[in-house]
Amino acid sequence: MRLARGYLSIALHELGGDVIVQSQVEIEELHQDDVLKRLILEIHRFFEQQSAHLERVTSIAITLPGLVHSESGVVLQMPYYDVERLELGPAVFKETGLPVFIANDTRAWALAEKLFGNSQQNKNSVLISVHNGLGAGIILEDKLLEGRLGNVGELGHIQIDANGKQCHCGNTGCLETVASARAIVRQVRGLIQQGEKTSLTVEGLTVVGICEAANQAIR
């Protein structure tokens, strides 16, 4: 399962990583009690819809942005959602009876690359994610680094400008305020509105479109 900004993806995977079935639903809830109830509802709904595969389910893994204490299954903090010290792992285990693993999404991607992807032959690797936020997953000597507070790799909240824009974390001038996908779109939109010559338009502006335009200009 992946809880992201405004949506939840649920998939049934083979142990080797192949996807058997996958679904996605929008999540409008923001407060942690409501978010937890909705997650549990969607788990039960998915199990009902995929009852033919239930005997193959051995565990549940949930990835999400934010600070996670993976050992206890507690979500310490999340962007976008009003979540603080949410005991997500224990709550889902109580409902399903299955082992539950909770992890930061970027750290989980780095581990997946180590187990199944391009990092299998490397003892040390770094995966950097640039999306709504900005983070890194670090593999050192074949082990995933997380830290006591689950904050190893939180590149987005390194301060680069003390007089910069306010970040959702409460600090100012974080890297995320200038280098995340949202920040890039905001900056390019501002340049267009100021009269910068470009093939891009303000309407429907996305970071994918910006990258494509930049690649075409380089060629």
Model confidence at 218: pLDDT above 70: no
The span from the CA of 130 to the CA of 176, in Å, is 9
Instruction: Return residue ranges of the chain for CATH 3.30.420.40.
Output: 2-104
Specify the CATH number of the domain 2-104: 3.30.420.40
Centre a 10 Å sphere on the Cβ of residue 165 and count the other Cβ atoms it contains.
13
Task: Give the start-end residues of each E strand in the chain.
Answer: 2-4, 7-13, 19-26, 60-64, 67-69, 74-77, 84-86, 100-104, 125-130, 134-140, 143-145
| Averaged pLDDT of the chain | 90
Residue 15 pLDDT level (bands cut at 50, 70, 90)? confident
Residues 89-127 have pLDDT tens digits of: 999 999 999 999 999 999 999 999 999 899 999 999 999
The span from the CA of 218 to the CA of 175, in Å, is 25
Model pLDDT, residue 16: 73
Q: What does DSSP say about strands 19-26 and 60-64: parallel, antiparallel, or unpaired?
A: unpaired
Residues 56-82 have pLDDT tens digits of: 788 999 999 989 999 999 999 888 899
